Chain A
C-alpha cells in the first residue's frame, strides 16, 4: 500500500537502543500484550458467548464453551418481530452506501473550493466550516426534526442522507482540504496555463491524486453510517425500515432476556461489516486519523 510511504521515521540513534535492546524489548512486548488482552477481551467474549447456551453467557468465566452450539445463530433466521434479519442489513447497506456517495461528491467539491480557488469570503466560510466541527449535534436535533416533519419526511431515509449530500460533515471537508493543499501547486498552475477550467482540474487532476483521502473518508462514512443509532432512532418508526442498529435495539427490548444467546449472536453479526472494513483498510483509517490531528 502506498500509504506506507508516510511512515518513514529516522532510525533511532543506535547507541542507547542497542544497549537496552533485550530486556527493554521483552518488557515492551509484555506491556503491549497485556494491553492487547484488555482491548480484545470484549471481542473474544462476544465471539465465545455466541456459541454458548443463553443461561451460560453472562455467568460462565470460560471464554469458549466446552460444547459449542450454533443454535444462537440458527435462531436468527427467525428474524426479529417477524422481520428478517436480512431486511435490516439491506437497509443499513443502502444508507451506508448512499452516505458514502454523498460525502465523496459534496465534500470533495467543497474542499476543492477551499483549497484551490481564491474567492472573496473564502477565509470567513472556512472559519464557519471549522466552527460547525465543534458544534454539538444536539442543538440541531430538534429543529431538524421539526423541519423534516413539516416536509413529511419522517420515516424516510431523506433526513439521514440529505446532510451527506450537502457536505455538512465538516470533518471530511477538512480532511480533504488538508490533502489538496499539500498537492504540488505546479500541477494545477500548469493546467490553468493550458486553459483548463476548475471543473477539469478538479476531475482530472485533483480527484485522482486525492484517492487516499477519498478512501479514508469513504470508509469512515460507511462505518459511521453503519453504527449510527440516534439518527435512525429519531427518524425511523416502522420496523421494516429499521437499520441493523435499531433492529438490534428492538431485539433487546422485545426478546433480549428470552433469547439472550440470539441477541449476542446478532450483536456480533452486526459488527462484522465494520470489522471487515477495518481489516481491509486499517492503513487508510489510521493514517487518516493521524493527519487530522496535525497541521490543524
Chain B
C-alpha cells in the first residue's frame, strides 16, 4: 500500500491529462452523457487492450489457423497442402488413434467420479468444525499443487513399479499382477490414482460451498426427525449443486487434457512415447507424437479440433443437464 501512495502523484497527473473538461459538468445534458459514454468506451478498451491483443494473436487467430491446418498436409517445412477431409479419415481409420480415445475416455470416466466422490467425502468430514481442521485442509490440498510436476510423476512411476510398495501391498491380498506402470492394462490406473491423489482442489471448493449452507435447514430437519442420510440427500446435495456442477465441469475438461503425467509415467521419448504397448497413450500424447515427433502438423491439428469438439459436447451436455439437477438460489446466477 505504501508504494501505491508514493506513486500517486505521477498517475494523478496522467489521469488528469487524459480526462479534460470533466469537473464542472453537473446536470448531464444528452451530449455530455454521450461524451461520457464515449470516454468510458475508450477507457474500457484501453484497459482491455492487452487482453484483446492476446485474444486475437494467441487465441482467436490460432484457432482459425488450426482449423485450416486440419484440412491440410503440413510438415512445418513445406507450405500446407489442402487435402480436404483426408486427415479425418486417416484418423478414424488409425487403430492407434482409436486406442488413444479409448484410453482417454476410460481415464476420464473412471478417474473423475472417483476423484470428485473422494473430494466431496473428505469435504463433508472436514466441514465439521474440529481442532486441526485447517491443518488437514491445507495438507490435503498440497498434492494439487505439486501433482502436475515432473517430480511427482517420477515418484509415481517408482511407487507403482514392480516390487515397490503398491505391488507388495497387493501381494499381501493375494493379487499378483506385478507393478502397474510396467503393465499395458494397469498403467492407466496408476494415472487414475495420481489424479485421485489430487482431490484437494475440488475438496476446497466443496468445503466453501458447504460453509454456505444455512444451519437453520439442518436444525429444522433435526426437529422433523430426518436422518443424516436424508439430510445429505435433501438438503446438502441440492444446496451445493452449483459447486458440484462447477467441479464436475472443470475436472472433466481437465481430465480430457492430461498430458505431462502420462508422458512421464509412461516413459516418454522415442518409439515408446506413452507407456508399455501404448498403455498410457492418452489423446494429447498421441497428438504430441503426431505433431512434434512425426511433424504431421495438419493431422495433429485435426486431432486437436476433435478434442475441442468432444470437450464442447461434454460441456454442452453438462450445461443442458444442469437445469434438471442444479439449484440456484434467487439472486444468484
CB distance from B274 to the nearest CB of A (A): 14
Question: CB of B186 within 8 A of chain A?
Answer: no
Q: Mark A127-154, 1 if CB is under 8 A from B, else 0.
A: 0110010111111111110110100000
| Chain A contacts for B65, CB-based, 8 A | 143, 146-147
CB distance from A165 to the nearest CB of B (A): 7
From the candidates B14, B15, B54, B161, name the one contacting A168 in the complex (CB within 8 A).
B54
Q: Is B163 in contact with chain A by the CB < 8 A criterion?
A: yes
On whether the beta carbons of A110 and B146 are closer than 8 Å, the reply is no
Q: A12-B129, A110-B47, A293-B209 are in contact. Are A200 and B15 (CB under 8 A)?
A: yes
Instruction: Report how far A245 CA is from B263 CA in the complex, Å.
Output: 13
Given contacts A147-B62, A166-B57, whether A142 and B297 have CB atoms under 8 Å apart is: yes
List B228-254 residues whose CB lies under 8 Å from chain A. 242-243, 246-247, 249, 253
Contact A290 B205 (CB under 8 A): yes
Q: What is the bound-complex CA distance between A12 and B219, given in angstroms? A: 10
Interface residues on A, range: 35 or more
Asked whether A136 and B307 contact (CB < 8 A) given A32-B136, A42-B159, A274-B146, the answer is yes
Residues of A within 8 Å of B155, CB to CB, are: 42, 45-46, 264, 267
Which of chain B's residues 168-187 have a Cβ closer than 8 Å to chain A?
168
Q: Are A295 and B58 in contact (CB under 8 A)?
A: no
Which of A68-76, A77-85, A93-101, A190-198 lies at the interface with chain B? A190-198
- Decide: A166 and B51 in contact? CB cutoff 8 A: yes
Binding site for A on B (CB under 8 A): 1, 4-5, 7-8, 11-12, 14-16, 18-19, 22-23, 37, 40-41, 43-45, 47-48, 50-55, 57-59, 61-63, 65-66, 69, 76, 122, 125-126, 128-130, 132, 136-143, 145-146, 148-152, 154-156, 158-159, 161-165, 168, 197, 200-201, 204-205, 207-209, 211-212, 215, 218-219, 222, 242-243, 246-247, 249, 253, 256-257, 259-260, 263-264, 268-269, 284, 287-288, 291-292, 297, 300-301, 304-305, 307-308, 311, 315, 332-333
- Chain A positions within 8 Å of B, measured between CB atoms, are 9-13, 16, 25, 28-29, 31-32, 35-36, 38-43, 45-46, 49, 57-59, 61, 105-106, 109-110, 112-114, 117-120, 122, 125, 128-129, 132, 134-144, 146-147, 149, 162-163, 165-168, 173, 195-200, 202-204, 207-208, 211, 223, 226-227, 229-230, 234, 245, 248-249, 252-253, 263-264, 267-268, 270-271, 274-275, 278, 282, 285-286, 289-296
